[in-house]
Amino acid sequence: MMEKVAIFLDAESLSGRLSSVEGEPIIDRIRKLGTVVVRRAYGNFSQGCVNAHQKELNQQGFELIHTFHPVSGKNSADIQMVVDVMDYVSRIPELQVFAIATGDSDFLPLYRRLRELGKSVIGMSTRSITATLSAHFDDYIQLCPLSSCPTPPSESALPKIITAPASEPTIAIATASNLNRDQLLLQLGQILPSKKAGIKLATLLKNLKQHSSFAMIQPWTVADLRDYLERLPNEVMLIGDKVFSPEQGHAFQATPANLATPTSTPASSTPASSKVPQTQQQAIDHVRQILQVMTNGISLKKLEVHLKKQMASFKPQAIGFKTFLEFLQSQPQVVYLTLDRKKAYLKGKEPSTGVDKAVVVTQQILRQTPKGIQINGLKTEICKQYSQFDERKLGHKRFLDFLKSHPNVIKLEQKGQIWWAKAV
pLDDT at 200: 85
Domains contained in the chain, number: 4
Q: Which of 178, 212, 244 is the last residue of a domain?
A: 244
Kindly state the percentage of the chain with pLDDT values over 70.
Answer: 70
Examine the pLDDT at 10 and tell me if it is beyond 90: no
Task: Give residue 249's pLDDT band: very low, low, confident or very high (50, 70, 90).
Answer: low
Specify if 253 maps to a domain.
no
Q: Determine the residue type at 322.
A: K
pLDDT at 253: 56
Examine the pLDDT at 266 and tell me if it is beyond 70: no
Count of CB atoms situated within 10 Å of the CB of 169: 15
Tell whether 21 and 112 lie within a shared domain.
yes
Tell whether 26 and 104 lie within a shared domain.
yes
Q: Which of 286, 311, 346 is the last residue of a domain?
A: 346
Domain extent at residue 112: 4-148
- Model confidence pLDDT, tens digit, residues 283-311: 898 898 888 877 777 889 889 988 888 88
Task: Give residue 202's pLDDT band: very low, low, confident or very high (50, 70, 90).
Answer: confident
Tell whether 15 and 136 lie within a shared domain.
yes
Task: Give residue 218's pLDDT band: very low, low, confident or very high (50, 70, 90).
Answer: low
Tell whether 117 and 209 lie within a shared domain.
no
Specify the DSSP class assigned to residue 86: H
pLDDT at 212: 58
Specify if 154 maps to a domain.
no
Tell whether 14 and 93 lie within a shared domain.
yes
CATH of the domain at 391: 3.30.420.610
Tell whether 86 and 17 lie within a shared domain.
yes
Q: What value does the mean pLDDT take over residues 188-192?
A: 83
Specify if 249 maps to a domain.
no
Burial 127-145 (b: 16+ CB within 10 A, else e): ebbeeebbebbbbbbbbbb
pLDDT at 40: 92
Q: What value does the mean pLDDT take over residues 112-123?
A: 88
Kindly state the percentage of the chain with pLDDT values over 90.
Answer: 10
Tell whether 307 and 177 lie within a shared domain.
no
Count of CB atoms situated within 10 Å of the CB of 109: 10
* Sign of the C-alpha dihedral computed for residues 391, 290, 36 and 109 taken in this order: positive
Specify if 250 maps to a domain.
no
Q: What value does the mean pLDDT take over residues 96-106?
A: 79
- Nearest residue to 355 (alpha-carbon basis) of 99, 155, 89: 89
Burial 59-68 (b: 16+ CB within 10 A, else e): ebebebbebe
- Model confidence pLDDT, tens digit, residues 137-162: 888 887 765 434 434 333 333 333 33
Pairing of the two strands 95-101 and 4-10: parallel
Specify if 46 maps to a domain.
yes
Lowest mean pLDDT among 3-7, 20-24, 93-97, 255-259: 255-259
pLDDT at 149: 43
Tell whether 274 and 234 lie within a shared domain.
no
CATH of the domain at 138: 3.40.50.1010
Specify if 153 maps to a domain.
no
Tell whether 277 and 296 lie within a shared domain.
yes
Task: Give residue 270's pLDDT band: very low, low, confident or very high (50, 70, 90).
Answer: very low
Q: Which helix (H) or strand (E) holds 399?
A: helix 399-404
Phi, psi of 9 (to 5 degrees): -120, 125
> Residue 246 and residue 354: Cα distance in Å, rounded?
41
Q: What value does the mean pLDDT take over residues 233-250?
A: 74
Task: Give residue 324's pLDDT band: very low, low, confident or very high (50, 70, 90).
Answer: very high
207 strand-pairing partners: none
Q: Which of 244, 279, 313 is the last residue of a domain?
A: 244
Listed in order, strand segments (DSSP E) in 70-130 are 95-101, 120-125
Tell whether 222 and 294 lie within a shared domain.
no
Tell whether 338 and 363 lie within a shared domain.
no
Lowest mean pLDDT among 41-45, 65-69, 299-303: 65-69
Residues 123, 125, 129, CA angle at the centre, nearest 5°? 70
> Residue 116 and residue 393: Cα distance in Å, rounded?
9
Task: Give this prediction's pTM.
Answer: 0.37
Tell whether 140 and 29 lie within a shared domain.
yes
